[in-house]
Amino acid sequence: MKTLPSDWFYSNRVDAEYKKYVLLAYLKEVQSNFNQTRLYPQLADLVFHYRNLLSFLHQKQNLQNEFPKNISEIDLKNFRIAYNSVVSNDELMQIIEQIVQYSLPQIQKSLDEGKEIYEFVENVMHFDPVGILPIYRNEGYLIIKDGEDNELRVYEYELKLFENNYENYRAISTTYLESYYKSFVNTTENIKIDLIKKRKKLPNPATFSIVSEFHFPLEETVLQIAKRKLNKFLE
């Protein structure tokens, strides 16, 4: 996937026309993936860049402080060094703001399309617990069926909690285990029983079934939305 660095709009060659070309080339690839219903990581990447541009508008001064500078004065007596910016911040900031103001609605348009696809897929994916759920649900299994495919893919999941200086957040990590083929014998309930017999790690695992009415890309769409559905449920 073609990606943009977080500082793409003000690093290297700061030229409005050039940055417009860079952005549109990136969004063209995003659009190509959306046309194939491939949502991730493109959708999350768009959200990041949109928020990053908004953050820039609120923190222009911090960005100006990162621009290259030349030494203008050395005061050995007071151990002080003064700097001048290599470029005229006023002129450069005007160009960057022009780039940002152009980019925001372009990214928003792609975001809206991605969200529309996400909502459609989410609405045709059915999420259900399998059997009785235990009290402990931070680990367990996801059983995923994609469209008319009779393959039932089993993933082990784990809820992980993270925190930094700004927020606490939760994420679901998954590991593919094995596949079963849907039949009178291989119901989701019987698959859960089989997993308990074979894997002693979780004697009473939280298990969930995800069934998509239509076929979508598994790794880039179905699994990612399944993890988000599970995260919401566990909250």
Per-residue pLDDT of the chain (235 residues; tens, 9 = 90+): 578 998 898 888 889 999 999 999 999 999 999 999 999 999 999 999 999 999 888 877 665 566 555 544 544 445 454 445 544 557 888 888 899 999 999 999 999 999 999 999 999 999 999 999 999 999 999 999 999 889 999 999 999 887 665 567 788 999 999 999 988 889 999 999 999 999 988 889 999 999 999 999 999 999 999 999 999 999 8
In terms of domains, do 135 and 216 share one?
yes
Domain of residue 107, residue span: 16-122
Under DSSP, is residue 146 helix (H, G, I), strand (E, B) or coil? Answer: strand
In terms of domains, do 28 and 108 share one?
yes
pLDDT at 92: 81
Read off φ and ψ for residue 67, nearest 5 degrees. -65, 150
Two structure tokens written together for 35:
């046309």
In terms of domains, do 108 and 131 share one?
no
Q: Which of 104, 122, 140 is the last residue of a domain?
A: 122
In terms of domains, do 56 and 109 share one?
yes
Q: Which of 63, 88, 122 is the last residue of a domain?
A: 122
Is 5 within the bounds of a domain? no
- Extended beta strands in the chain, E state: 69-75, 80-85, 125-129, 139-146, 151-163, 168-181, 206-212
Report CA torsion sign: 121, 124, 130, 136. positive
In terms of domains, do 133 and 220 share one?
yes
In terms of domains, do 176 and 212 share one?
yes
In terms of domains, do 43 and 104 share one?
yes
Two structure tokens written together for 91:
């002129």
In terms of domains, do 87 and 181 share one?
no
Please report, for residues 15, 187, 192, 204, 208, the alpha-carbon distance to residue 131 in angstroms, rounded to integers and kept in the order given.
59, 11, 8, 10, 9
In terms of domains, do 116 and 185 share one?
no
Q: Which of 77, 99, 122 is the last residue of a domain?
A: 122
Is 178 within the bounds of a domain? yes
| Domains contained in the chain, number | 2
End-to-end CA distance of the chain, in Å?
31
In terms of domains, do 181 and 216 share one?
yes
Tell me the whole-structure pTM to 2 decimals: 0.81
Is 6 within the bounds of a domain? no
Is 134 within the bounds of a domain? yes
Which residues on neighbouring strands pair with residue 62, listed in sequence order? none
